[in-house]
Amino acid sequence: MSAISARRKSSGQLEVMQKAGWKIDENEKACYIDIEEDDDEANEKLDESQRVYSRWSELPNLVLEDIFAYLTPKERYYASLVCRQWYSAFYLPTVWNNFVVDDRTLTRPKYNYYSGWQYCLDHMRTQNCLARIGRHLRGIEFRPWHSFNNIYQFMTMLSWSMDKGQEQNPQPELVGMGRRIRSLVYHFPCNMSQPNDPEGIKLFGTGGQLLKGLKELLLRLTDLHTLKLVDFVLERFEANHLLDEVVCSCCTKMRILNLVNVTTMHCPIMHVGLFLNLRVLTISPQNIDDDVLSLLADTKLRHLHLLQNRYTPNHLSISACGVKAWRSLKATNPRLKVHLRVENLVDGDVVLQPEAPVHSITYWAPQARIRTDLLLRMVDHYKNTLAVYGHELLPRFSSPKPFHNRIDSLLLLMCRQCIYLNTLVIREKVSTSTLLLLARTAKNLQQLHVRRFAVILRCDWPRHPEWSDEFYLWLKRNSRSYEAVEREISQILGYNWNLLSDREFKQLTLNVKAGA
C-alpha cells in the first residue's frame, strides 16, 4: 500500500508540475507560477447548439485596417493566423501605409566572438517579407539606433527587388515592388554615442556606404510625395549632391520636403528650389540663403518652416537671409507663410529673419524664457503677419512674481501691435488682470492657452488715464477669482474657456497652419 500511495503521490506531483511553468516578470526575473486549468473538457461536453462564438471575424475591413495599422509587422503576422478574414486584412493597402525599419526589424540573434550576441538582418525572412507585402508599401520610415548595417542591407535588398521586378520576365511576387511608396522618412540618431547624456553630444555623419545605399534607393522611388531626412550632419561636398537622384525622378511630384541639419555649417541646399510643386518645406536656417529664396519664389510653396533643434549651431553663428531676398519672395509668392520654431532641451533663441512673412514663432524648449529685447524685435519685424506665438512644455525655471519683473506688459504690447494674432500660449507667471486685458486687447484672438499654476490672483496694473471708472472697476472685480476670469474670457472669445492644468499644458500641441 505504501508503494501504491507513493506512486499516486508522485504521479499527482508530476501532474501538478505539468500544469505549472516559469514566467519572466517585468524585471526580467524568472518566477514559478501555476497554470490555471481551462474549461475545454466542459466545453467539449456541451451541445453544438449551446456553444457561444465571438464575432470578431466579422469585423469590416475598414475597422480591421485601423486595428492592423497600430500593430508591428510581427504582431500583424500573428493576427493574420486567427481566421481567414484577418488573413485577408493582412494584405489590405491601408495597413502598410507606413513600414518602420529599426535595429530589430526582420533580424535574428547571431553570436559574435568579439561583441557577443547581436541582431543581424535575416535575409531569407526579409526576402519573403518583401515578396509578400512589397507591392503594398506606401511609406517607409528608418529608425536606426546602433546597427546601421541592418538598415543598409535592408535598403540594398529593397533596391535589388525593385530592379528584379522591372526585368522583362520578372518573378510574379516581385512585380510592382515598391511602386506605391509615396513617403520616406529617415531619422539619424546623432547622440548614439551618449544616449543618456543629451548635454554632451558628439555628432556623427551618415556618409559612406549608408548614404550611397540611401541615394540608390531614392533613385528608384520615382513617385515620392514626402521625403524627410533629419539630422544627417553631412560634410559640405556630400550635402551638395544629396538630392541629385530625387530631383531627377520627383522634381514635379514632391509635395513635402523635410531637411533638418543636413550640415552643421553654412551650406545652402540649392536643390530645394527645383521641386516645382513643393507645398511644405522644413529646413534649418544654416541651409538656406538668398539664392535659395530666389529659387523658391518660382515654386508653389505655401509653408516654409525654419527649424532649430539641439544639433543646430548656436543662433549667434547663423546669419539671416537678406531683406531684399525676402521682399522679392513676398512679391512673387504672396501666399507664403514662414514658421520659426526652436526645439531644444537647453536655452536657445530663434534666428529672426527681417522682412520675412513670419506667420508663427513657437518654442519647444523648457528652459527658454521670453526676453524683452527679442520680443521687441519680433513685434517690430512681424507686427503685420504674426498670428501664432507660444512656448510649449512646462518650464524648468522659476518666473519672478513682482510686476515690473514679469512679462505682462510685453504680452500686452504684442497683442496691441500684432493685429492678426489669433493664438497665444503663456506658461510664465502673469496676473489675472493681465489675462483680462489680453482678451480685451487682441481683437483677432481665438486660442488662448494659459497654465493655471502660473496665474496670480491679483490686479497689479496701475490705472491708465484712458481707462474709465467702470472699466477699472470691472477689471478689479473680476481679477479676484479664477472662476470670474474664466467666465469673462469665455464671453469675450465666444466659447467655454478654461485655464489648463500642468498635465493638459504638457500635452498641448500648436497648429501653426491655423488661419494660414
Specify the residue for cell string 517690430: 380
Closest by Cα among 453, 342, 434 to 394: 453
Mean pLDDT of 115-142: 88
Q: Alpha-carbon distance 36 to 89, whole Å?
A: 33
SS3 breakdown of the chain: % helix, strand, coil, rounded to 5? 40, 15, 45
Predicted confidence at residue 171, as pLDDT, reads 86
**H/E run at residue 389:** strand 388-391
Residues in Cβ contact with 115 at an 8 Å cutoff, skipping those fewer than 6 apart = none
Q: For 287-339, how does the pLDDT look when each residue is reduced to its tens digit (9 = 90+)?
A: 999 999 999 998 999 999 999 998 999 888 899 999 999 999 999 999 999 99
User: How is residue 339 written as a grid cell?
Assistant: 514658421
Q: Select, from the ranges 23-32, 192-201, 287-296, 507-516, the one with the highest average predicted confidence (pLDDT).
A: 287-296
Mean pLDDT lowest among 61-65, 206-210, 233-237: 206-210
Q: What domains, with CATH codes, occur in the chain? A: 56-96 (1.20.1280), 357-515 (3.80.10)
Looking at the predicted structure, is the pLDDT value of residue 206 above 60? no
Looking at the predicted structure, is the pLDDT value of residue 342 above 90? yes
Count other C-beta atoms under 10 Å from residue 267's C-beta: 20
Q: Alpha-carbon distance 516 to 514, whole Å?
A: 5
Q: Are 312 and 276 in contact (CB under 8 A)?
A: no
Mean pLDDT of 497-516: 85
What one-character DSSP code corresponds to residue 176? T
Tell me, what amino acid is at 315?
Answer: H
Residues, the chain, total?
Answer: 516
Closest by Cα among 485, 385, 506, 500 to 438: 485
CA dist 448 → 60, 257, 420, 451, 497 (Å)? 41, 31, 14, 10, 8
Q: Alpha-carbon distance 123 to 108, whole Å?
A: 10
Q: Select, from the ranges 80-94, 198-212, 243-257, 424-438, the one with the highest average predicted confidence (pLDDT).
A: 424-438
Looking at the predicted structure, is the pLDDT value of residue 389 above 60? yes
Res. 58 pLDDT band, cuts 50 70 90: confident
Q: Alpha-carbon distance 340 to 360, whole Å?
A: 6
Tell me, what amino acid is at 178?
Answer: G
Q: Are 513 and 388 in contact (CB under 8 A)?
A: no
Specify the residue for cell string 471708472: 469
CA dist 238 → 97, 168, 218, 364 (Å)? 30, 35, 15, 30
Closest by Cα among 250, 310, 302 to 284: 310
Predicted confidence at residue 407, as pLDDT, reads 94
Count other C-beta atoms under 10 Å from residue 163's C-beta: 14
Predicted confidence at residue 338, as pLDDT, reads 96
Q: For 243-288, how does the pLDDT look when each residue is reduced to its tens digit (9 = 90+)?
A: 998 998 888 999 999 999 999 999 999 999 999 999 999 999 999 9
Predicted confidence at residue 193, as pLDDT, reads 47
430 has which bridge partners?
455
